[in-house]
Amino acid sequence: MATGEKTITINMGPQHPSTHGVLRVIVELDGETVVRARPVIGYLHTGIEKTMESKLYYKALPCTDRMDYLAPMSNNLGYCLAVEKLMGIEVPEKVKWARVCLAELTRINSHLVWLGTHALDLGAMSMLLYTFRERELILDIYEACGGQRMMTSYIRIGGLAHELPGDFDVRVRKMVDTISERMKDYEGLLTNNEIFISRTKGVAVISAEDAINWSLSGPMLRGSGIARDLRKDAPYSGYENFDFKVALGKKGDAYDRYLLRLEEIRQSLRICRQAIDGMPEGPYRAHVPGVVLPPKEDVLYKMESMIFHFKIITEGFSAPVGSVYQGIESPKGELGFYITGDGTNHPRRIRVRPPSFVNLACLPKLCEGRLFSDVVCAIGSIDIVLGEVDR
């Protein structure tokens, strides 16, 4: 049908509970069928990349938490790995293991929020209450580590902000046991739920070929059956030492992506357990004078450490001229940091490759020709965070 003939255009968002933030979709409907869908973004654009470029490398870190605020540790990790790659810093083994554990906690955290909100969008109210109850355990671990529940900034360039808390392993084990047990409840509520199945099976389908052409990543790409996981394909931070499986979907619909994310939570729990069991002893920060801040204990008693502390805080360190890219597998997909150094203590360019932004671009493809109610399911199954889409 030609545009405007018998169609009606309606506006969904930017203030709408199922758009998970300030996403606006202009939808053109023929009856209940979507003829055209056009996402409008930018309501949350705060120029984070520009802000980061105006800061010292060290001080740009807290900006990364504020992009994907459901997965702060992943963002910290991506940025720190990129700067470490640019500066050629090697971190101690213990730091690698702790970072893997924290990044997987973040994945569970993000997937739990996704599960709760996605189910809520589709009418299953109680899921939200259950998943947020379990998420609390993870936020408590964050709080014990860095003192913050959401904007952690705990992973720092060259290591961690502090030593891990003494009862870290006890807390993580408790969390792993609890969530492993509760997974059965989630599955019981949704996996064979007829309403949930009819809302998600065969909805928001994307084929493997299209998924590649639209540059999708993460669960969106794996849901279509392509085994792309940076933890396996380009291991970072010691992921090659861990035993886990990459979950894959077959049909590329919303139901497959639901099963896939549940499986990812299970695999993350496995990785967390392995990380706790095998955590080596050692320092929590690399010893690289002039680039990595010395431990606070040393600053108080050692002259040299105090000088370096003062120098790094005031003038930072200078990076070589050149560009590096470091991608990590964040809960939403491939999160990449492209950092260009220009010989000064400020980055010339920090580009964030936001998985939500790139995945959201295919929303019209998922919705067009489908029912209007499927738009909600499509947005939910992409798993976006508008803080990251708009930056």
Partner 1 sequence: MTETNDQHIVNSGTSLDIDARIRQFLIEQFGDAILKDEVFRGDRQYTVKAEKLYSICRALQDNDSLDVRWLADITCVDWLGHPEEEHGRFEVVYNLCSLSHKYRFFLMARLPGDNPRIQSVVDLWHGANWLEREVWDLFGIRFEGHPELTKILTPDELEGHPLRKDFPLTYEQPKFSWNLNEPPEIVK
- CB nearer to partner 1: give 42 or 369: 42
53 with 348: CB under 8 angstroms? yes
Site membership for partner 1, residue 390 (CB under 8 A): yes
Residues 6+ apart with CB under 8 A from 61: 76, 79, 80, 153, 156, 157
Count of residues that interact with partner 1, criterion CB under 8 A: 54
Which residue, among 220, 232, 214, 224, has the nearest Cα to 249 in the 3D structure? 224
Binding mask 141-170 for partner 1 (x = CB under 8 A): ------------------------------
Cα gap 35→161, rounded to integer Å: 51
Site membership for partner 1, residue 78 (CB under 8 A): no
Element (H, E) at 183: helix 168-190
Angle of helix 254-278 relative to helix 93-121, nearest 10 degrees, comes to 150
Residues 6+ apart with CB under 8 A from 41: 23, 24, 357, 360, 386, 389, 390
> Looking at 45, 59, 133, 250, which residue binds partner 1 (CB under 8 A)?
45
Binding mask 222-241 for partner 1 (x = CB under 8 A): ----x-x-x--xxx------
Which range binds partner 1 by CB under 8 A, 25-33, 149-157, 168-176, 315-323? 315-323
Element (H, E) at 361: none
> Looking at 324, 375, 379, 386, which residue binds partner 1 (CB under 8 A)?
324
> Looking at 14, 24, 36, 49, which residue binds partner 1 (CB under 8 A)?
49
Which residue is associated with the tokens 């890219």? 325
Site membership for partner 1, residue 188 (CB under 8 A): no
Min dist. Cβ of residue 345 to partner 1 (A): 14
Cα gap 19→382, rounded to integer Å: 11
Min dist. Cβ of residue 136 to partner 1 (A): 34
Residues that bind partner 1 (CB under 8 A): 41-42, 45, 47, 49-51, 53-54, 85-90, 210, 212-217, 226, 228, 230, 233-235, 288, 290-291, 321-325, 327, 334, 336, 338, 340, 342, 348-349, 351, 353, 357-358, 360-362, 365, 390-391
